[in-house]
């Protein structure tokens, strides 16, 4: 066949947008079914990965049927850059699109060859930078019914020998990472938000299409769908990262005209660059990614990441780490927001943990990783030595030794240890309060923070459940493992997880449900144990585990919640912790607070507070933690409410440090409403 395989461009069409707007006006029922879109996308992506080798071969054969194009294979970035160097032939300017495979994987090598990189996208849309400064400012376009208006708007099956408008061909090569490619017929698809792709195709003297292996799907129909999904889910993210870099110039128009013999060749590079290895590894799900960048939308560290030449998303963050190019993996707060936003539900935070743990197995862990990763031991020692340990961590020279030794920020106040832990309190009390065998019972997974640092929260939980006729048991348990996995110790995490799973499963066999009061522990027990230590017992535990608010709301819906609460007129600022949001826990938590007579929730804030456990204490992260929390602090101060409520202990500490206002756990509100807080412990 003569010519080249079809190159399709998709972009928001005015007609589609009008239709979507009118549908949005007609009512919620007529809006796009995102559930269906996500499940079809999942099918396409799973098939793309399970048949990756054969699809790549088929795509190559389909492309090679055309005489006007050559298809090259690049095992790694160096090989790809070598191919491109052969194509560039003296032209120094390379036009690129925003594809991660081009910008992150190939640009550094091209830079070393002395090529000038031009990004027409930035020059067209750069004015947005003045308006959208921060991820918090992004509009919720998806929620406005705009999904689905991305149409195939042009088909460049034969590149014009001259631009349509009579303008000249420029002396440059366009290097474009494709959004999707069809194995069936060799066609490629791009999503463009401005006219960057069409201009590049129209005006560059040669064109190189970069096809990451995971971009190849079975057929055109699937490729159209995948590309459309990039637009649907990434529509807001396109407004970020638009700041032109110094020396960008005015894009294509600034480039010199091409005066040589016109030979508009098109080349295809099939790029592996580690993808085949990832496909065989534990990190395979990373390749499900379609590059929509929805995961950037609410990522708290997005705005703070340096991205001089690279573009950045949580997915890129991990991909670049795997390629040895990202030394900042420790910055991630594991807030789970990217996981929640991703249309394919790729669990990026867990994949990051896994990748870091594998790296640490080969290269070792620092002393600080080992100490902070053993948070339970640290707390146990601190509690035994309290109150002296509290003085040691706050007063010189002990303070200096602990903080400097662990690399913690000396400006941050560490939480106090308690001489009597919750479990010690409970052991004394339970002997006195043992009840009848037919009483409903729960097994309370306490977690380290409530046990050692905030026993008052754990006590409140026991008292409130007792008030509702529930007997509370505290089974044998170890730290949930989050500090371990967060400090690169996957083996230690699995050991603790297995211990807890067995212990909690035994309680379920005895007729108990599992209740937790810490959102992070709940996330581990309900979800991460399944994803990192899948077993029948882990599934059993996950199915019977409840965050305490969820458990109490279940009682309420069954008409069993004790409503004998005193009325106290109070306005509340509610901060939703990231790990509770990741479990869809916001609704129950808010309903519980609103169930208390006289309580009115004035403000709900769902932005990350920036703390992430010990993360915000670390010297190198402390300023960023404060910066991320800044918006929340301002909102709290402006709100002028009676109470600030949040379920997460780390959020409480961060709020208290940033505002000087004490924050309570919702269970403490109930304790007060039942009048239990005044009873002797």
Q: Which residues bind ligand SF4 (CB under 6 A)?
A: 289-295, 299-301, 313-315, 317, 332-338, 341-344, 346, 348-349
204 or 578: whose CB is closer to ligand SF4? 578
SS3 helix, strand, coil % of the chain, rounded to 5?
50, 15, 35
Give me the least distance between CB of 100 and ligand SF4, in Å please.
Answer: 8
Give me the least distance between CB of 290 and ligand SF4, in Å please.
Answer: 5
271 or 458: whose CB is closer to ligand SF4? 271
Residues 456-495: b if buried by 16+ CB within 10 A, e if exposed: bbbbbbbbbbbbbebbbebbebbbbbbbbbbbbbbebbbe
Give me the least distance between CB of 597 and ligand SF4, in Å please.
Answer: 37
C-alpha angle 160-161-164 in degrees, rounded to nearest 5: 55
Q: What is the DSSP letter of 610?
A: S
Can you list the positions of beta strands (E) in 435-479? Answer: 441-445, 471-473
State the CB neighbour count (10 A cutoff) for residue 499.
Answer: 15
Give me the least distance between CB of 189 and ligand SF4, in Å please.
Answer: 16
338 or 673: whose CB is closer to ligand SF4? 338
Q: CA-CA distance, 631 to 636, in Å (whole number)?
A: 9
Q: CA-CA distance, 622 to 407, in Å (whole number)?
A: 11
163 or 630: whose CB is closer to ligand SF4? 630
Q: CA-CA distance, 681 to 677, in Å (whole number)?
A: 9
Give me the least distance between CB of 314 and ligand SF4, in Å please.
Answer: 3
Give me the least distance between CB of 609 and ligand SF4, in Å please.
Answer: 12
Q: How far apart are the first and last CA of the chain?
A: 85
Q: CA-CA distance, 294 to 124, in Å (whole number)?
A: 21
196 or 336: whose CB is closer to ligand SF4? 336
105 or 156: whose CB is closer to ligand SF4? 105
Give me the least distance between CB of 24 and ligand SF4, in Å please.
Answer: 23
342 or 474: whose CB is closer to ligand SF4? 342
Q: Are 590 and 380 in contact (CB under 8 A)?
A: no
Distances (CA, A) of 80 to 75, 152, 518: 8, 29, 48
Q: Are 59 and 5 in contact (CB under 8 A)?
A: no
138 or 568: whose CB is closer to ligand SF4? 138
172 or 338: whose CB is closer to ligand SF4? 338
Distances (CA, A) of 26 to 31, 234, 277, 331: 9, 24, 48, 44
333 or 590: whose CB is closer to ligand SF4? 333
Q: CA-CA distance, 547 to 583, in Å (whole number)?
A: 9
Based on its alpha-carbon atoms, the radius of gyration of the chain, rounded to whole angstroms, reads 28
Give me the least distance between CB of 300 and ligand SF4, in Å please.
Answer: 5
6 or 177: whose CB is closer to ligand SF4? 177
Token couple for 128: 């947005």
298 or 421: whose CB is closer to ligand SF4? 298
Give me the least distance between CB of 473 and ligand SF4, in Å please.
Answer: 34
Q: CA-CA distance, 156 to 159, in Å (whole number)?
A: 6
290 or 590: whose CB is closer to ligand SF4? 290
Q: CA-CA distance, 405 to 418, in Å (whole number)?
A: 23
C-alpha angle 78-353-284 in degrees, rounded to nearest 5: 55
Q: Are 232 and 35 in contact (CB under 8 A)?
A: no
Give me the least distance between CB of 526 and ligand SF4, in Å please.
Answer: 17
Q: CA-CA distance, 633 to 611, in Å (whole number)?
A: 13
C-alpha angle 200-202-206 in degrees, rounded to nearest 5: 70
Query: Three-state secondary structure along 5-35?
Result: CCEEEEEECHHHHHHHHHHHHHCHHHCCCHH
Q: CA-CA distance, 606 to 648, in Å (whole number)?
A: 13
Give me the least distance between CB of 548 and ligand SF4, in Å please.
Answer: 24
581 or 665: whose CB is closer to ligand SF4? 581
Give me the least distance between CB of 286 and ligand SF4, in Å please.
Answer: 8
Residue 324 Cα to chain centre, angstroms? 20
Give me the least distance between CB of 345 and ligand SF4, in Å please.
Answer: 8
Give me the least distance between CB of 469 and ligand SF4, in Å please.
Answer: 39
C-alpha angle 154-41-583 in degrees, rounded to nearest 5: 135
């Amino acid at each position: 066949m003569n010519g080249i395989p079809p190159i399709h461009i998709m972009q928001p069409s005015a007609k589609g947008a009008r239709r979507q707007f009118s549908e949005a006006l007609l009512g919620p029922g007529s809006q796009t079914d995102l559930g269906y879109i996500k499940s079809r996308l999942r099918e396409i992506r799973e098939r793309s990965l399970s048949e990756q080798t054969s699809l790549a071969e088929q795509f190559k054969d389909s492309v090679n049927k055309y005489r006007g194009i050559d298809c090259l294979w690049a095992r790694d970035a160096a090989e790809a850059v070598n191919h491109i160097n052969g194509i560039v032939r003296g032209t120094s300017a390379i036009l690129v699109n925003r594809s991660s495979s081009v910008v992150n994987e190939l640009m550094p090598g091209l830079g070393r060859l002395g090529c000038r990189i031009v990004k027409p996208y930035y020059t067209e849309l750069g004015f947005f930078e003045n308006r959208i400064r921060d991820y918090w400012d992004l509009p919720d376009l998806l929620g406005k019914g705009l999904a689905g208006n991305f149409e195939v708007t042009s088909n460049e099956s034969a590149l014009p020998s001259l631009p349509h408008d009579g303008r000249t061909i420029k002396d440059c090569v366009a290097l474009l990472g494709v959004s999707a490619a069809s194995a069936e017929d060799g066609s490629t698809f791009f999503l463009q938000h401005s006219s960057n792709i069409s201009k590049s195709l129209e005006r560059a003297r040669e064109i190189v299409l970069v096809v990451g292996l995971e971009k190849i799907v079975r057929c055109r129909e699937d490729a159209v769908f995948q590309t459309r999904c990039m637009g649907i889910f990434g529509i807001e993210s396109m407004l970020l990262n638009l700041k032109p870099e110094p020396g960008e110039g005015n894009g294509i128009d600034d480039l010199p005209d091409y005066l040589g013999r016109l030979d508009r060749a098109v080349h295809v590079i099939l790029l592996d660059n580690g993808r085949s290895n990832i496909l065989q590894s534990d990190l395979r799900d990373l390749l499900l990614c379609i590059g929509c960048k929805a995961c950037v939308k609410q990522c708290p560290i997005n705005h703070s990441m340096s991205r001089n030449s690279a573009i950045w998303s949580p997915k890129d963050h991990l991909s670049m780490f795997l390629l040895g190019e990202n030394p900042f993996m420790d910055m991630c707060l594991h807030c789970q927001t990217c996981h929640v936003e991703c249309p394919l539900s790729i669990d990026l935070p867990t994949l990051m943990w896994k990748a870091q743990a594998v790296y640490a197995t080969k290269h070792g862990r620092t002393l600080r990783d080992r100490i902070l990763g053993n948070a339970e031991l640290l707390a146990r020692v601190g509690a035994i030595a309290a109150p002296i340990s509290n003085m040691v961590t706050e007063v010189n020279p002990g303070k200096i030794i602990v903080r400097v030794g662990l690399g913690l920020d000396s400006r941050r106040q560490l939480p106090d240890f308690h001489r009597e832990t919750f479990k010690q309190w409970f052991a004394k009390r339970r002997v006195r309060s043992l009840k009848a065998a037919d009483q409903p019972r729960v097994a309370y997974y306490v977690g380290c923070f409530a046990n050692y640092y905030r026993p008052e929260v754990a006590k409140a939980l026991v008292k409130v459940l007792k008030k509702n006729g529930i007997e509370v048991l505290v089974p044998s348990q170890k730290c949930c493992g989050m500090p371990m996995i967060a400090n690169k110790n996957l083996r230690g995490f699995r050991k603790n997880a297995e211990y807890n799973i067995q212990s909690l499963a035994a309680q379920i066999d005895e007729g108990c449900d599992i209740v937790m009061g810490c959102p992070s522990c709940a996330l581990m027990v309900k979800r991460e144990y399944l994803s990192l230590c899948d077993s029948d017992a882990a599934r059993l535990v996950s199915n019977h585990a409840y965050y305490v608010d969820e458990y109490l709301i279940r009682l309420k819906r069954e008409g069993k919640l004790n409503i004998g609460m005193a009325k106290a007129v109070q306005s509340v600022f509610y901060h939703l912790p990231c790990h509770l949001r990741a479990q869809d826990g916001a609704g129950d938590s808010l309903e519980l607070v609103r169930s208390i007579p006289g309580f009115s929730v004035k403000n709900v804030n769902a932005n990350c507070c920036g703390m992430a456990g010990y993360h915000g204490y670390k010297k190198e992260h402390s300023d960023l933690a404060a910066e991320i929390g800044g918006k929340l602090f301002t909102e709290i101060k402006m709100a002028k409410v009676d109470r600030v409520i949040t379920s997460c202990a780390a959020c409480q500490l961060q709020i208290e440090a940033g505002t000087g206002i004490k924050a309570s756990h919702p269970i403490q509100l109930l304790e007060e409403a039942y009048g239990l807080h005044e009873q002797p412990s």
